[in-house]
Amino acid sequence: MTDTKQTSSSDEATQDDPSTSAVNTSEESSLELTGKIFPADSDVTLAAEIVVSDDDDENVSAKPIVEDVIVAVETFEELNLAAPLMAAITKLGWTKPTLIQAMGLPLTTKGQDLAGFSQTGTGKTGVFLITIAHQILKMRETGVDDSKGPKAIILAPTRELAVQISSDAELLFDHIGITSMAVYGGVDYEKQASQIRGGVDVIVATPGRLKDYYQKKIFSTKDCCLFICDEADRMLDMGFIDDVEYFLSKLSPDTQKMLFSATTNEKVKELAFEYLENPKYISANPEIMTPERIKQFAVICESTEKLKVMLGLLREHQPVCSVIFVNTKIVAEWLQYKLQNNGIEVDLITGDLPQTKRIALVQRIKNNEVKALIATDVASRGLHISSITHVYNFDLPDDAANYVHRIGRTARAGAEGSAYSLVCEDYGHNLLAIQKYLGENIPIETFWVPDEFLQVEDKAGNPYKDPTFKG
């Protein structure tokens, strides 16, 4: 960008600012297990929001993030399922996977953690039941299935749903020698406890009764290799989410975890971000990005003024929670130092964040201990925190699609949000492409940096002269 305002800058700013450098259903099977088949002429190359691994080098500008394309399977044969399971599926007359099954099973049968969003009756139960059967049969082939403890736990919000899932499980599992049972309140406590002690492969349960059995050491989760929470959105609505989190916290890091929701729920995505390991997000309820709900602003400034502008914006807005995007990891570390030492409660999101740190980060946000998260495009993949009110582009992204992806971190679940971008000589040339990408009906209000922001004092000093700086 060549048309920039002429202002003076301190020597320190130029020295330490790195920025200047479907199925044929049998009569027995339920609709939810089988769902509906694909139309005969449907295209099963499906776009969905999924999170890719953080193998990219964060010290270079992030590559454009686009919604990854999942090449869905058209038949169950393509999944290379265990032979007895494939025979059971054939015997039940299931010839074609449903949409959510076609998208999810290629991931879950390989051990991938998953958050799936699909309405009731679309076959999402089939995703986790087929996955459970496949993984247990693989364990038996390798001789590691020799314990009485459950290998899989399925949580459901209501007794009725637990009974339905258990019934669906029996249809499939009875053909391949996998045992299952439903656990819920209102029935003989000791009888259920005795059955669990006797050994069962899969438990389908409501959270309260199962938590009671766990706390009384009726069973252990040490041999649980799969955990599924079905209708997680209803768990939230009914106040059971604490019990779900209780079990998630008791699982081994190696346990494969899946969350399913009938609605594309931001709180469920947040739960997945917190507890699942590098989860994929798939949806048979496509969510349309709506930048119209996000108020967008561009602040024209010089690169040496950006820190003062950022401090001015944060102090003026007092966001509940915000994300500050930068293009490189080195700038992220520099900015974290600068903001922290200027009294801003900020944290840095790095790639491949371990579960313990994700849980701690989300808890700090819930406790209002963090007001801003600094991230690169790569490190923020999979970030779902519903309380984000503001997004700041400290650096404008080089790809317009990344801009939409960034600002979409706010205005979740029907809420409104704000996005502010700092337009400097380094990345300002990207603004035109972003405006073209958004279209003329989605304006970005542009203004020069306010004079009062330029009077903000930087109290942090030069991080590269601080021996404690790890950047």
pLDDT tens-digit readout, 421-462: 999 999 999 999 999 988 888 889 999 999 999 999 999 989
Please name which of 300, 372, 311 lies closest in space to residue 6, comparing C-alpha atoms.
Answer: 300
Average pLDDT rounded to a whole number, residues 359-378: 83
- The answer to whether 123 touches 32, Cβ cutoff 8 Å, is yes
Between CA 452 and CA 449 the distance in angstroms is: 8
Average pLDDT score, the chain? 82
Give the other-Cβ count within 10 Å of 137's Cβ. Answer: 18
Burial class of residue 142 in the structure, from the number of CB atoms within 10 Å of its CB (0-12 exposed, 13-18 middle, 19+ buried): exposed
Q: To which residue do tokens 């010290």 refer?
A: 59
Q: Residue 64 has what pLDDT?
A: 31
Please report which confidence band the pLDDT of residue 17 belongs to, taking 50, 70 and 90 as the band edges.
Answer: low
Helix, strand or coil, per DSSP, at residue 283: strand
pLDDT at position 47 is 35
Are the beta carbons of 131 and 78 closer than 8 angstroms?
A: no
Q: Can you tell me which residue has the tokens 């920039």?
A: 4
Taking residues 343-366, report their average pLDDT.
78
Helices (H), 341-443: 355-366, 400-407, 431-438
Return the pLDDT at 318: 94
d(CA 162, CA 117): 19
Q: Are 102 and 38 in contact (CB under 8 A)?
A: yes
pLDDT at 62 over 80: no
Distance CA 326, CA 311 (A): 15
Give the number of other Cβ atoms within 10 Å of residue 70's Cβ: 19
Phi first, then psi: give them for residue 87, nearest 5 degrees.
Answer: -65, -40
Q: What is the mean pLDDT of residues 14-37?
A: 46
3-state secondary structure 83-110: HHHHHHHHHCCCCCCCHHHHHHHHHHCC
The fold adopted by the segment(s) 74-283 is Rossmann fold (3.40.50)
83 has which bridge partners? none
Q: What is the pLDDT of residues 227-267, one digit of tens each?
A: 999 999 889 888 999 999 999 999 998 999 999 998 877 88
Distance CA 185, CA 207 (A): 10
Quickly state the pLDDT bin for 128 (edges 50, 70, 90): very high
pLDDT at 369: 87
Q: Range with the lowest mean pLDDT among 215-219, 234-238, 333-337, 446-450?
A: 234-238
> What mean pLDDT do residues 278-286 have?
83
Strand-pair category, 180-183 with 152-155: unpaired
- d(C-alpha 411, C-alpha 417), whole Å: 5
Give 136's strand partners.
none
Answer whether 11-19+291-465 and 74-283 agree in fold: yes
pLDDT of residue 224: 95
Instruction: Give the start-to-end residue ranges of the domains of the chain.
Output: 11-19+291-465, 74-283
Query: 468 in helix, strand or coil?
Result: coil
Q: Which two tokens stand for residue 342?
A: 């200027």
Instruction: Reply yes or no on whether the pLDDT at 50 is more than 50.
Output: no
Query: The CATH number of 11-19+291-465 is which of 2.60.120.10, 1.20.58.100, 3.30.420.10, 3.40.50.300?
Result: 3.40.50.300
Which of 124, 116, 130 is CA-nearest to residue 48?
116
Mean pLDDT (whole number) for 329-347: 93
